Amino acid sequence: MYRYDEQDRQIMQERVAQFADQTQRYLAGELSEAEFRALRLMNGLYFQRFAPMYRIAIPYGMLSSGQLRMLAHIAHSYDRGYGHFSTRQNIQFNWCKTEDIPKIFGLLASVEMHSVQTSGNCIRNTTTDPLAGVAPDELEDPRPYCEFIRQWSMFHPEFAYLPRKFKIAVSAATQDRAAVQVHDIGIYLVQNAAGETGFQIWVGGGLGRTPILATRIRDFLEKPHLLSYLEAIVRVYNQHGRRDDTNRARIKILVRDLGAEKFAELVEAEWVKIRDGVLKLEDSDLQRMQTYFTTPEYDAGAAADSRFAAQLESDKAFARWVRYNVVDHKQPGYKAVYISLKAPGIPPGDATHEQMQALADLADRYSFGEVRSTHDQNLVLADVQQKDLFELWQALEEKQLATANIGSLTDMICCPGLDFCGLANAGSIDVAEKLNERFDDMDYLYDLGELRLKMSGCMNGCGHHSVGHIGILGVEKKGQEWYQITLGGNASNDASLGDRIGPAFDKAHVVDAIENIVKVYVDNRESEEERFLDTYRRIGMEPFKARVYAQEEAA
Amino acid sequence: MTLPLSKRVIRDRQIVEDPWLHLADEDALPESGDITVSLERWQSDNDALKAYAGHVGLRLDSDTDVEETGLAINDIPLIVLDFPIIDTNKRGYHPVGKGYSQAYLLRTRLGFKGEIRARGPAVMRDVLFYMSRCGINSFEMDESKDINDALKAFNEMTVAYQPSADSMQPAFMRRRNTAA
C-alpha cells in the first residue's frame, strides 16, 4: 500500500498544527461558530445531536494493521469503545470531545492517516473496489490512480469551497463493486481498441434528495491526462454549479440542466487548455506510484493444499461462511474474505475496539498485514491462503465477526439515523434490528440469495437507499417516523434507481411490508438462481404493490 | 454611497496602507486618488474613466467569467475579486469559492501581472494561503478581523500536492528530481 514520504509527512504535520491552532482559536472565542464551521468540516468534525462526530479518511479503503490498531486505540481511549465504518469507506467516531480532536489528528498522522476533507464542500475521499489488486476480473490495479487523485485533491487551493461536496470513485474490474455511477465523477479503467489501458469518465451521479445516475462523457482518456481532466471537470463545476440552493448544488444538477453533451463540451474546452500543462503525468510518475502497490509474496504452492476441501466437506457452518463471505482471488490457492459488520443486534458498520484489535492481529497472521473497508460497510482480508481459512473463520467466530450474510438481506447498508445524526428524520438502526429479528432464519435468508437492502434515515441518502434492490427511506410526517420503500435500485454496472412502491409505512408496519415484498419475490421467481432484482425487473411493481397494500388494509 | 477607505490591507505578505477607494456605481468621480469601479461602470463610463487622473481598478463579482470580459486586462493595475458568504437554505455559513478559479485563470491563462485582491466576508486568515496559491496577492479583511494574526497564514503550509498559480512545486514533480 502507499507509504508517506518526507513530503507527505511534512504536509500532514503542518496540517495537524494548523487545525490545532484553529480549534484553539475557536475554543478561545477568536473564531465564531460560523467561521469555525467551514474549517472543522473540512477536517471531518461535525457538531451533532449528542456529541461531535469525527470522520477519519481511509483512502480508497486501504488500512494497514498498524493503522487499524490506532483506530482501535482511538475508539478505546477517546470514544465509547467502537467506531462506525461508513459508505465512503471511512470510519467515524460519535463520542469524541472537540478539544481532543487535534490530538487524535496527531495520532492519525503518526500512522499516516488523516481526516482531511472528509466533510465540507470539497473533494472527499476517493473510493474503489475493495478487491482492488486481487480480483480475478480486474484489468489493472486501480489504487495507484486513486492515490494520484488523493494527492491532487488534497488541499487543492482552488476547490476548497465548491458549491457542494464532491465524490470520486474508481473501478477497474468487469463487475463494478464501487458504485461508480452514483458518484460526482465515476472512473472505469478500460482498454481501447489498441489494447491500451485508460479511463472512461462518467459525471453527474449522486444520491440524496434527487438521485441521478452518472452519464458517460468520455470513452477513453489516456493515463497521463487523468489529473488534468479531473481538474477541468471540477473547474467547470466550480464556475457554473448552482450555489443558491443546497439541494440543487451538486454537479448532477448542473449536468442535468446543461445536458451532458453541453457539459462535456465545456469540460473538453477547458481541458484542451491545460492537458499538456504541469498536471500531465509522466511515465516515471506512473511507475513510481505503481511500486507502492506491488503483488505481495504469495506462496506459489498455496493451491496444492487439500485441507480446505476436506474442511468444506466436513463442516457445514464453515462451508456456509465460505459460500457467502469468501470470494475468488487472482492468485491460485488464495481467497479474499469479507468480514461482515452486520451481526444481528449490532448497528450495521459498527466495530468495537476489541474487534479492530483482533482483526489487526488476524491481518498480520493471515493477510500480509492489510485490511480493506468496503462501501457497503464491511471489511475485507484480501490475501488469505485457503489452507488458513478454517482457522481464520474460527478466530472470527470468537469475535462475532463471522456472520455469514454477505450480499444477503441482513447485510444491509444503513446510516446512523436519528440515534446519532443531526440531519436524520427517522431511526434506521432500530429498523435494521427489527429486520434482523424478522429474518433470523438463516436458511430462509440464504434461500433468498443476493438481496441488497439499503436504508437511509433522511433524504440525504447516506444509506444509498435509492440504489438498494430494496430501499428504505426514513421521513418525518407530523412528528412521526415513516418509511418509504423503493424497489429495483442497483449500484452495479447496470445501475438503476429504485421505484417508489406507494405510500410510506409507519414504524410498526415497515418490517411487515418488507417481509411481504420478499414473499412476492419467492412466489414469483422463475428459479432459485433468479435474484430479487431480476424478478422485479421481469414482473414489475404491481404484484408487490398489490400484496403489500392488501395486507395494510387488512391490518 | 461611497465605501469608506479601508485603512490597511495585506499586500505581498505585508501590511500596508491602502490607497484605493471603492467607488459605488452611483458615486461621482472624485477629484483625484486611486479608485475601483464595477465592471458595469467600467463599460458604461469608459470615456470618463479613461480621462480620470488617478489609477482605476476593476471590481468583479463572483459570477463574472474572467475569460469573457473583453477587456485589455493587462492594462488594469488592480482587479478586486469578491468573496461573499451565502446562507443557502438557512443551513448556515457557505463561503462562495468562485473567486479562487477567477484568480487562477487571471494569472495562468490571461497572464495578469497586476494586483489581485480578495475582498468580502469570506476573506479571513484561514483561507489566505489557498487564495495566495491561486494568485491573489492582496487581502482586504473586515476590520473586526486581526490583520496581524492573519499574516501567519502564509507560513502554515510549506508543501503542496498540486500545481496552482503560485511558484510552489507540487510534490509529484519534486519526486521526479529526487528519484533521478
Q: What is the pLDDT, as a whole number, of residue B177?
A: 80
Q: What is the mean pLDDT of residues B143-151?
A: 92
What confidence tier does A555 reach under pLDDT thresholds 50, 70, 90? low
pLDDT at A263 over 70: yes
Say yes or no for a CB contact (<8 Å) between B88 and A243.
yes
B155 touches A at CB < 8 Å:
no
Q: Which three cell numbers stand for residue A250?
A: 451538486
- Alpha-carbon gap, residue A510 to A504, rounded angstroms: 8
- A484-520 burial string, b = 16+ CB within 10 Å, else e? bbbbbbbbbeebbbbbebeebbebebbbebbebbbeb
Q: Distances from the Cα of A396 to the Cαs of A37, A343, A357, A375, A476, in angstroms?
A: 40, 12, 12, 21, 39
Q: What is the mean pLDDT of residues A76-89?
A: 94
- Alpha-carbon gap, residue B1 to B23, rounded angstroms: 8
Least confident of A48-57, A312-321, A368-377: A48-57
> Considering CB atoms only, which of A245, A277, A281 is closest to B88?
A245
Q: Which residue of B lies nearest to A231 if distances are taken between CA atoms?
A: B162
On the 0-12 / 13-18 / 19+ scale of CB atoms within 10 A, A283 is exposed
What confidence tier does B1 reach under pLDDT thresholds 50, 70, 90? very low
What confidence tier does A554 reach under pLDDT thresholds 50, 70, 90? low
B137 touches A at CB < 8 Å:
no
> Considering CB atoms only, which of B124, B134, B157 is closest to A14?
B157
Least confident of A138-147, A257-266, A437-446: A437-446
Mutating which of A33, A158, A245 best tests the B interface, going by the most B Cβ atoms within 10 A?
A158
- Alpha-carbon gap, residue B119 to B16, rounded angstroms: 15
Measuring CA to CA, which residue among A428, A407, A418, A443 is closest to residue A511? A428
Q: What is the pLDDT, as a whole number, of residue A299?
A: 97
> Considering CB atoms only, which of A14, A157, A285 is closest to B172?
A285
Which residues of B are less than 8 Å from A157 in CB distance?
100, 129-131, 133-134, 160, 162, 164
- CB-based contact A420:A357 (threshold 8 Å): no
pLDDT at A74 over 60: yes
Which residues of A are less than 8 Å from B104 in CB distance?
158
Measuring CA to CA, which residue among A332, A328, A330, A310 is closest to residue A319? A310
> Considering CB atoms only, which of A151, A161, A285 is closest to B161?
A151
Domain boundaries A134-290, CATH class: alpha beta
pLDDT at A551 over 60: no
* Pairs of residues, one from chain A and one from chain B, whose beta carbons lie less than 8 Å apart: 122
What confidence tier does A48 reach under pLDDT thresholds 50, 70, 90? confident
Say yes or no for a CB contact (<8 Å) between A35 and B98.
no
Q: What is the pLDDT, as a whole number, of residue A352?
A: 98
Which positions 32-61 of B are in contact with A (Cβ < 8 Å)? Answer: none
Which residues of B are less than 8 Å from A236 in CB distance?
none
B172 touches A at CB < 8 Å:
yes
Measuring CA to CA, which residue among B160, B134, B133 is closest to residue A8? B160
Which residues of A are less than 8 Å from B161 in CB distance?
11, 151-152, 154-156
Bridge partners, residue A334, by sequence? A385
Residue percentage of chain B with pLDDT more than 70: 93
**How many angstroms separate the CA of residue B28 from the nearest CA in chain A?**
33
CATH number of A6-110: 3.90.480.20
> Considering CB atoms only, which of B96, B156, B174 is closest to A161?
B96
> Considering CB atoms only, which of B89, B164, B171 is closest to A158?
B164
Say yes or no for a CB contact (<8 Å) between B89 and A245.
yes
Say yes or no for a CB contact (<8 Å) between B122 and A160.
no
pLDDT at A184 over 70: yes
B89 touches A at CB < 8 Å:
yes
pLDDT at B178 over 80: no
Looking only at the bridges linking them, the beta strands covering B115-119 and A326-328 are unpaired
Mutating which of B63, B110, B137, B157 best tests the A interface, going by the most A Cβ atoms within 10 A?
B157
> Considering CB atoms only, which of A15, A151, A245 is closest to B172?
A151
What confidence tier does B135 reach under pLDDT thresholds 50, 70, 90? very high
> Considering CB atoms only, which of B95, B160, B175 is closest to A38?
B95
- For chain B, give every domain's residue range: 8-179
What residues contact residue A306 under an 8 Å CB cut-off, 6+ apart? none
Which positions 110-129 of B are in contact with A (Cβ < 8 Å)? Answer: 122, 124, 126-127, 129
Q: Position A488: which residue type?
A: G
Q: What is the pLDDT, as a whole number, of residue A329?
A: 98
Say yes or no for a CB contact (<8 Å) between A279 and B162.
yes
**How many angstroms separate the CA of residue B36 from the nearest CA in chain A?**
24
B49-92 pLDDT, tens per residue? 999 999 999 999 999 999 999 999 999 999 999 999 998 766 67
What confidence tier does A442 reach under pLDDT thresholds 50, 70, 90? confident
DSSP state string for A40-86: HHTTTEEE-SSSEEEEEB-GGGEEEHHHHHHHHHHHHHHSSSEEEE-
pLDDT at B142 over 70: yes
What residues contact residue B110 under an 8 Å CB cut-off, 6+ apart? B66, B67, B73, B74
Query: What fold, for A302-398?
Result: Sulfite Reductase Hemoprotein; domain 2 (3.90.480)
Residue percentage of chain B with pLDDT more than 90: 86
pLDDT at A545 over 80: yes
A110-143 pLDDT, tens per residue? 999 999 999 999 999 999 999 999 999 999 999 9
What confidence tier does B2 reach under pLDDT thresholds 50, 70, 90? very low
B6 touches A at CB < 8 Å:
no
Least confident of A36-50, A55-69, A227-241, A361-375: A36-50
**How many angstroms separate the CA of residue B44 from the nearest CA in chain A?**
25
Which residues of A are less than 8 Å from B144 in CB distance?
none
B136 touches A at CB < 8 Å:
no
Q: What is the pLDDT, as a whole number, of residue A246?
A: 87
Q: What is the pLDDT, as a whole number, of residue A424?
A: 87
CATH architecture entry for A414-554? 2-Layer Sandwich (3.30)
> Considering CB atoms only, which of A151, A160, A278 is closest to B171?
A151
Measuring CA to CA, which residue among A490, A452, A483 is closest to residue A179? A490
Higher-pLDDT residue of B15, B4: B15
Q: Does ipTM exceed 0.90? A: yes
Which residues of A are less than 8 Å from B169 in CB distance?
none
Mutating which of B94, B107, B108, B176 best tests the A interface, going by the most A Cβ atoms within 10 A?
B94
- Alpha-carbon gap, residue A490 to A487, rounded angstroms: 9
Bridge partners, residue A373, by sequence? A379
Q: Helices (H) and strands (E) in chain B — how many of each? A: 6, 10
Which residues of A are less than 8 Å from B171 in CB distance?
7-8, 11, 151
Other beta carbons less than 10 A from residue A157's beta carbon: 26
Q: What is the pLDDT, as a whole number, of residue A488?
A: 97
Average pLDDT, chain A: 95
DSSP state string for A484-550: EEEE--B-STT-BPPEE-SS-EETTTHHHHHHHHHHHHHHH-SSTTS-HHHHHHHH-SHHHHHHHHH
Residues of chain A with CATH 3.90.480.20: 6-110, 302-398
Higher-pLDDT residue of A283, B88: A283
Q: Distances from the Cα of A203 to the Cαs of A93, A219, A246, B160, in angstroms?
A: 31, 12, 19, 27
A320-340 pLDDT, tens per residue? 999 999 999 999 999 999 999
Q: What is the pLDDT, as a whole number, of residue A53?
A: 92
Which residues of A are less than 8 Å from B98 in CB distance?
238-239
